[in-house]
C-alpha cells in the first residue's frame, strides 16, 4: 500500500493554494481507494445487483477498531449465481450465513469471495448476514483526542460492499457510540435510542439507491448550528467552532444549492449537512459533506474562500446523482465539480473569480504538456495514479468544460448540461452520454471537439 504523502508540488504557499491543497489531498486519498478497488474493472459484470445494505457498526474510537454486523440483500442477474464477490478492504469477516445456514467464504487482497450453498436463480433475492471486525488503515478515521470517528471514501474498509460506482443500493446505517456525541450520516436521520448500558445508537435510512462510495457518517463531541433555506434543512457541525462561527462559515450554502439546482435543472433533494472534522479531506457523501477544521478557519479568515464548500455541494448532483459508471469516466464527477464551482464563483464573486480558476487550469495543463504528462480525460490506468494523472481529470477536465462552454455559447451549453443532468438523474453514465446530450443541444456533431480534448492528449 502506498502512503498518504502529498506530492511536494501540492504543498500550500498561499491561503488559496492551501485550499487547493486540501482538495488535492482528499483526491489523493480517493485515488488510493480507486487503485485499491480495481478501478479499471469497476463495471465488469458481477452476476448480481445489491438492492440494500443494512449495517450496524460499533466503532471503538480509542482502540481505532470497528465491529459490524450486516445484512446484504442482493438479486441474481444470472441463471445460477453461486459466487458473490464483494470488496472488504482489510476487514476480517468471521461469519456469513443465508437463512441461518453458514456459507463458505474466503478473503484475499481486499476481496471477499462467498460461495453460496444453494445457487440463486435469475431474479431471485437472497439476504447474506455478515459479522466482521477490523482496524481500517484508511476509509474510517479515528481522532480519539476529539472523541471523533468519520468515514473517508473507502466504504469497503468499514462495511463489505461493492466499491464500483455503477452499483447503487439503498442503505440503513446504525452506529452505536458513547453518550454525549453528535452524529451525522447519509440519509434521513431516524430517532436515536439509548441502550441499557448508556451508549447511544444513531441510525439513518437512505431510501434512494446510491453508489457505496457516498455512504458515510461523522460523529464527535460537536457543536452544531442549523438553518433553513427554501425548504432545505441545513445543519453544520464542528468540534472547534461555535454555532455562530459555523453559521458564518457555511453562510453561502443555500445560495450554492440554488445555483447548482438551476444549472442541473433539478431541485436539491432532502436535507444537507456539513461537518468539519479533524484532518483535511473534502468528501462528498449523500446529503452530507465533510471538510476539515483547518479549512473552516480559512473561510472564517476570508469569507470568499468557499471553493471547497462549493465543490462538495456540486457533487450532490454531479457525482452522487449522476455518477460515472466506471472510474475511467471519473472526470464526469470531478471536472464537473471543479467547473461548477468556478461557475458559482463567477455568479457570486464576479468574472475575475471565474477567470482566475480558468487560468489556473490552463497553467496546469500547460505544465502537463511541457513534461509530456498530458493524456485523455477518459482514463483507465488508475493502478498507480500520479499527481499529474489527477490533474488531468480534475484541472484539465474543468478547462475542457470551459472550452466547450466557449465553443457552444451560454444558451446551448447550459441547456445541454441541464438535459444531461436531468436525463441521467439516479443513473451511472459514461462520457458518450454526456457527448450525446451536448450534441442534441447543439444540433450538430461534437465528435471533433471530443476527439481532440476528451479522448486524446491536448493538441
Q: List residues near Zn ion by CB under 5 A.
A: 334, 337
Phi, psi angles (nearest 5°) of residue 327: -65, -15
What residue number has its CB nearest to Zn ion? 337
Least distance in angstroms from the C-beta of 179 to Zn ion: 34
Nearer to Zn ion, 298 or 312 (CB): 312
Which secondary-structure segment (H or E) carries 204?
strand 200-211
Least distance in angstroms from the C-beta of 29 to Zn ion: 11
The total of other beta-carbon atoms located within 10 Å of residue 11's CB is: 11
Least distance in angstroms from the C-beta of 73 to Zn ion: 30
- The grid coordinates of residue 359 equal 487560468
Nearer to Zn ion, 107 or 283 (CB): 283
- The grid coordinates of residue 276 equal 468539519
Instruction: Please choose, from the candidates 279, 385, 391, the residue with its C-alpha nearest in 3D space to the C-alpha of residue 24.
Output: 391
Nearer to Zn ion, 139 or 160 (CB): 139
Q: What is the DSSP letter of 261?
A: H
Nearer to Zn ion, 93 or 343 (CB): 343
Burial of 352 from C-beta contacts in 10 A (0-12 / 13-18 / 19+): exposed
C-alpha–C-alpha distance, residues 432 and 450, integer Å? 9
The total of other beta-carbon atoms located within 10 Å of residue 443's CB is: 7
Least distance in angstroms from the C-beta of 449 to Zn ion: 24
Instruction: Please choose, from the candidates 78, 86, 29, the residue with its C-alpha nearest in 3D space to the C-alpha of residue 53.
Output: 86
Least distance in angstroms from the C-beta of 391 to Zn ion: 13
Nearer to Zn ion, 61 or 285 (CB): 285
Least distance in angstroms from the C-beta of 133 to Zn ion: 31
Least distance in angstroms from the C-beta of 255 to Zn ion: 20
Nearer to Zn ion, 241 or 311 (CB): 311
Query: Which residues, including other chains, have CB under 8 Å from residue 154's CB and lie 6 or more apart?
Result: 32, 33, 36, 37, 89, 136, 138, 139, 163, 213
Nearer to Zn ion, 187 or 397 (CB): 397
Amino acid at each position: 500500500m502506498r502512503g498518504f504523502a502529498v506530492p511536494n508540488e501540492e504543498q500550500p504557499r498561499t491561503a488559496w493554494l492551501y485550499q487547493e491543497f486540501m482538495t488535492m489531498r482528499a483526491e489523493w486519498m480517493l485515488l488510493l481507494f480507486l487503485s485499491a478497488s480495481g478501478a479499471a474493472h469497476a463495471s465488469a459484470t458481477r452476476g448480481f445487483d445489491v438492492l440494500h445494505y443494512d449495517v450496524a457498526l460499533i466503532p471503538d474510537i480509542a482502540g481505532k477498531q470497528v465491529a459490524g454486523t450486516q445484512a446484504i440483500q442482493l438479486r441474481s442477474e444470472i441463471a445460477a449465481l453461486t459466487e458473490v464477490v464483494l470488496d472488504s478492504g482489510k476487514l476480517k469477516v468471521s461469519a456469513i450465513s443465508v437463512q441461518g445456514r453458514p456459507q463458505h467464504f474466503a478473503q484475499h487482497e481486499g476481496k471477499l469471495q462467498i460461495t453460496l450453498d444453494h445457487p440463486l436463480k435469475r431474479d431471485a433475492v437472497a439476504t447474506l448476514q455478515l459479522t466482521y471486525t477490523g482496524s481500517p488503515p484508511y476509509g474510517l478515521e479515528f481522532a480519539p483526542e476529539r472523541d471523533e470517528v468519520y468515514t473517508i471514501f473507502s466504504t469497503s474498509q468499514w462495511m463489505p460492499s461493492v466499491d464500483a460506482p455503477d452499483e447503487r443500493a439503498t442503505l440503513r446505517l446504525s452506529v452505536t457510540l458513547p453518550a454525549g456525541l453528535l452524529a451525522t450520516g447519509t440519509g434521513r436521520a431516524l430517532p436515536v435510542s439509548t441502550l441499557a448500558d448508556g451508549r447511544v445508537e444513531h441510525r439513518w435510512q437512505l431510501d434512494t439507491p446510491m453508489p457505496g462510495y457516498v455512504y458515510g457518517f461523522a460523529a464527535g463531541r460537536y457543536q452544531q448550528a442549523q438553518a433553513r433555506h427554501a425548504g432545505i434543512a441545513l445543519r453544520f457541525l464542528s468540534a472547534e467552532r461555535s454555532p455562530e462561527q459555523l453559521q458564518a462559515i457555511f453562510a453561502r450554502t443555500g445560495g450554492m444549492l440554488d445555483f447548482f439546482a438551476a444549472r442541473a435543472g433539478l431541485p436539491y433533494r432532502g436535507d444537507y449537512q456539513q461537518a468539519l472534522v479533524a484532518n483535511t479531506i473534502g468528501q462528498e457523501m449523500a446529503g452530507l459533506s465533510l471538510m476539515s477544521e483547518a479549512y473552516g478557519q480559512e473561510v472564517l479568515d476570508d469569507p470568499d474562500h468557499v471553493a471547497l464548500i462549493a465543490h462538495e455541494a456540486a457533487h450532490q448532483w454531479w457525482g452522487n446523482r449522476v455518477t460515472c459508471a466506471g472510474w475511467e469516466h471519473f472526470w464526469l464527477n470531478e471536472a464537473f465539480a471543479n467547473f461548477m464551482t468556478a461557475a458559482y464563483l463567477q455568479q457570486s464573486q464576479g468574472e475575475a473569480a471565474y477567470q482566475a480558476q480558468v487560468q489556473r487550469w490552463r497553467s496546469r495543463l500547460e505544465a502537463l504538456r511541457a513534461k509530456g504528462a498530458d493524456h485523455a480525460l477518459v482514463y483507465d490506468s488508475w493502478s498507480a495514479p500520479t499527481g499529474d494523472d489527477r490533474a488531468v481529470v480534475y484541472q484539465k477536465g474543468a478547462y475542457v468544460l470551459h472550452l466547450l462552454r466557449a465553443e457552444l455559447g451560454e444558451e446551448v451549453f447550459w441547456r445541454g448540461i441541464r438535459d444531461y443532468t436531468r436525463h441521467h438523474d439516479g443513473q451511472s453514465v459514461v462520457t458518450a452520454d454526456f457527448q450525446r446530450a451536448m450534441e442534441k443541444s447543439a444540433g450538430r456533431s461534437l465528435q471533433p471537439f471530443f476527439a481532440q480534448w476528451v479522448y486524446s492528449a491536448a493538441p
